[in-house]
Amino acid sequence: MAVGASQLTNYSKRFAQIAALLIFLILTGCSIIPPVLSDYGPSPSPLELVDTPFYSQQEFQCGPAALMTVLTASGVETTLADVSRQVYLPARQGSLQSEMLAASRAAERVPYVLVPTLSSITGELATGRPVLVLLNLGVSWLPRWHYAVVVGADADREQIILRSGTDERRVMDASVFLRTWRRSDFWAVSLLRPGELPANPDRSRYIEAVAGLEQTGHPQAARDAWQAGLSIWPDNAVLIFGLANAQYALGNLSAAELLYLDMLRGDAASLIARNNLAMTLVAQGRNRDALEQIDSALELADGSPLLEELLDTQRIILSAVNGASN
Amino acid sequence: MQKPIVGYSFNKPKTTRGTSMRSTMLQNFVVRLVSLSLLSLGLLQTSGAAMIGTQQGIQSGAQAARIVRIETILARDDVARQLVAFGVDPLAVQSRVANLTDAELLVLEGKLDKQVAGAGVIGVIGVVFLVLIILEFVGVTDIFKRV
């Protein structure tokens, strides 16, 4: 009996040590020094988008509620039930980040993933756009993922104001916000109307967001967004290519042709521009011009990963030539 | 309420208890129907097959464009099946996968259960776990006093 009791005590001691460590980790959130707002870049004077709508979440449905908030703030007319149908995953009782972006595209909005700094959030707030964020309210080994919408920041009081879950105006200490946001790798998204630019635009993030719209079949939104991008990066070949592709998809073939030619003036060896130019020409019935373009592309295509694609284009043009001569 | 589909090789999210053979067949039929309509969606999107998309143009150094396209079509099919298995209304699946980019599809393929899913409420298991730790801690302290 005595031996058994002492073994139990040893076991309990070890358990106590582990439990104490766990509680320490929970309380500290695995970080010792609390971050402050000023560590994350200069913050403007207190700012709150008080008109941002609020949709209280139903059980586990913070994703749909938060997305509904930013969609409505961006002028999209929809319902919580419809948003839920697009992003809620019943068996996971939650919503995936990529599906939150996908549903924004479905609503013809550009889901721009912000540069992970607090100033990029406050920049969006200053232009009147609330920001969708993913937080981990738990800790890394016991995560509690939560979507919320940042609607305000107050650097003097070190506070962040959110539409969150069932709280219409959740005031969070900046240090808590920054810790919980950091655990999601600072995931934050602003929904841009096509044609709007982010407050602090990052070119590659912007291109990725707009290319996603093009890829998922929203050429009109993509066109407006590429045009906005070209207003600040006028000579960028990717943006010109993107706009040309959007014009092609919309059937504006002569506009597309001019843009591909523009791109080829910058880089005569661009296979993607020449391939798409050839496709644009054949779509206009200008088969000989098209053949000329694709042949000059094929001369440069030795060992290119695009070779198969170029040969496909050549076949399409040749069959158009044969069809016309019959 | 949508029950998970049985008979596919990916990890099933929940138990399949009580799923009768008949409803399984029905669900398999629905999945096939969705897959078929997705396939036609894929064909629709690649009808201008020789056009090179912007994202594809940026990445074209990495891999042959045609291989990427085939991989994406397969990934789209896989993600659609997973969504149905995770309880999404089959009628909503088509538009959900249609708005995912190629890169997102390739990330989700076969891994829907491992992605972060923002839920917003502290799960019951989490609460119980924390309470257990604290309760045990209190009990353990008594043992220390006795020693």
Kindly list the domain boundaries of chain A, sorted by start residue: 38-192, 203-325
B51 has a chain A CB within 8 A of its CB: yes
Confidence (pLDDT) at B65: 64
B84 touches B31 (CB < 8 A): yes
User: CB distance B52–A309 less than 8 Å?
Assistant: yes
A57 CB within 8 Å of a chain B CB: yes
Highest mean pLDDT of the ranges A189-203, B1-15, B100-114: A189-203
Say what the pTM is.
Answer: 0.77
Q: Which residues of A touch B64 (CB under 8 A)?
A: 305-308
Whether the pLDDT of residue B97 is over 50: the answer is: yes
Taking contacts as CB-CB distances below 8 angstroms, the residues of chain B near A181 are none
Nearest to B50 among A92, A271, A309 (CB): A309
Among A60, A86, A238, the residue with its CB nearest the CB of B92 is A86
Q: What is the mean pLDDT of residues A98-107?
A: 97
Residue B47 in contact with partner chain A when CB distance is under 8 A: no
Q: Tell me which chain A residues have a C-beta less than 8 angstroms from the C-beta of B14.
A: 91
**Higher pLDDT residue, B45 or A98?**
A98
Residue A8 in this model has a pLDDT that exceeds 80:
no
Round the average pLDDT of chain A to a whole number and report it.
88
Q: Report whether pLDDT(A127) > 90.
A: yes
Q: How confident is the model at residue A205 (pLDDT cuts 50, 70, 90)?
A: very high
- State whether residue B147 sits within 8 Å of chain A by CB: yes
Give the length of chain B.
147
**Chain A residue closest in CA terms to B13:** A91
Confidence of residue B142 (pLDDT cuts 50, 70, 90): very low
Q: How many residues does chain A have?
A: 326
Q: What's the pLDDT score for residue B55?
A: 83
- A residues 286-305 lying closer than 8 A (beta carbon) to B: 305
Is the per-residue pLDDT at A129 higher than 90? yes
Instruction: Name the band, by pLDDT with cuts 50, 70 and 90, for residue A134.
Output: very high
Partners of B117 in the β-ladder: A96
Residue A184 CB partners (closer than 8 Å, separation 6+): A133, A134, A135, A136, A145, B116
Lowest mean pLDDT among A178-182, A189-193, A207-211, A223-227: A178-182
Please give, rounded to a whole number of angstroms, the shortest distance from the CA of A143 to a CA of chain B. 9
Is A12 close to B116, i.e. CB distance below 8 A? no
- Flag whether residue B121 sits within 8 Å of chain A, measured between CB atoms: yes
A-facing residues of B in 82-111 (CB < 8 A) are: 83, 85-89, 92, 95-96, 98-102, 104, 107-108
Q: Which residues of A touch B86 (CB under 8 A)?
A: 89-92
CATH 1.20.1250.20 fits A203-325, yes or no: no
Residues in chain A closer than 8 A to B83 (CB atoms): 89
Q: What angle do CA B55, B56, B62 make, to 5 degrees?
A: 115
pLDDT of B146 reads 36
- The answer for A 27-56 residues in CB contact with B (under 8 A) is none
Inter-chain CB proximity B129 and A142 less than 8 Å: yes
Q: What is the pLDDT, as a whole number, of residue B125?
A: 47
CA dihedral A177, A180, A184, A189 (to 10 degrees): -20
Question: Which of these ranges, A2-16, A29-43, B117-131, has the smallest mean pLDDT?
Answer: A29-43
The pLDDT value given to residue B140: 46
The reply to whether residue B121 touches residue A165, judged by beta carbons under 8 angstroms, is yes
Cβ of A98 within 8 Å of Cβ of B104? The answer is yes
Percent share of chain B, pLDDT over 90:
19
Q: What is the mean pLDDT of residues A132-159?
A: 87
In the block, residue with structure tokens 């008594």: B142
CB of B20 within 8 Å of any CB in chain A? no
Average pLDDT over residues B80-108: 92
**Collapsed DSSP state (helix, strand, coil) of residue A168:** strand
Q: How far apart are CA A222 and CA B101, in angstroms?
A: 14
| Chain B environment of A306 (Cβ under 8 Å) | 52, 60, 64-65
Burial class (CB in 10 A: 0-12, 13-18, 19+), A140: exposed
Greater confidence (A28 vs A152) lies with A152
Q: Minimum mean pLDDT among A4-8, A96-100, A298-302, B12-16: which range?
A: B12-16
Closest-CA residue of A relative to B145 is A9
User: Measuring CA to CA, which residue among A83, A23, A37 is closest to residue A58?
Assistant: A83
Give the residue, A77 or B67, on which the prediction is more confident. Answer: A77
Q: pLDDT confidence of B73, banded at 50, 70, 90?
A: confident
Q: What b-and-e string marks burial along A158-184, b requiring 16 or more CB atoms within 10 Å of the CB?
A: bbbbbbbbeeeebebebbbbbbbbbbb
Q: Cα–Cα distance between A256 and A315 in angstroms, integer?
A: 21
Sign of CA dihedral A301, A307, A309, A313: positive
Strand locations in A193-244 (E): none
Q: Cβ separation of B95 and A145 shorter than 8 Å? A: no
Nearest to A216 among B60, B99, B126 (CB): B99
Q: What is the least distance, in Å, from the CA of A178 to any CA of chain B? A: 17
> Is the CB of residue A260 less than 8 Å away from at least one CB of chain B?
no
When mean pLDDT is compared across A300-314, B23-37, B80-94, the lowest value belongs to B23-37
Q: Are the C-beta atoms of residues A189 and A100 closer than 8 Å to each other?
A: yes
The CATH-assigned architecture of domain A38-192 is Alpha-Beta Complex (3.90)
The residue in chain A having the minimum alpha-carbon distance to the alpha carbon of residue B76 is: A216
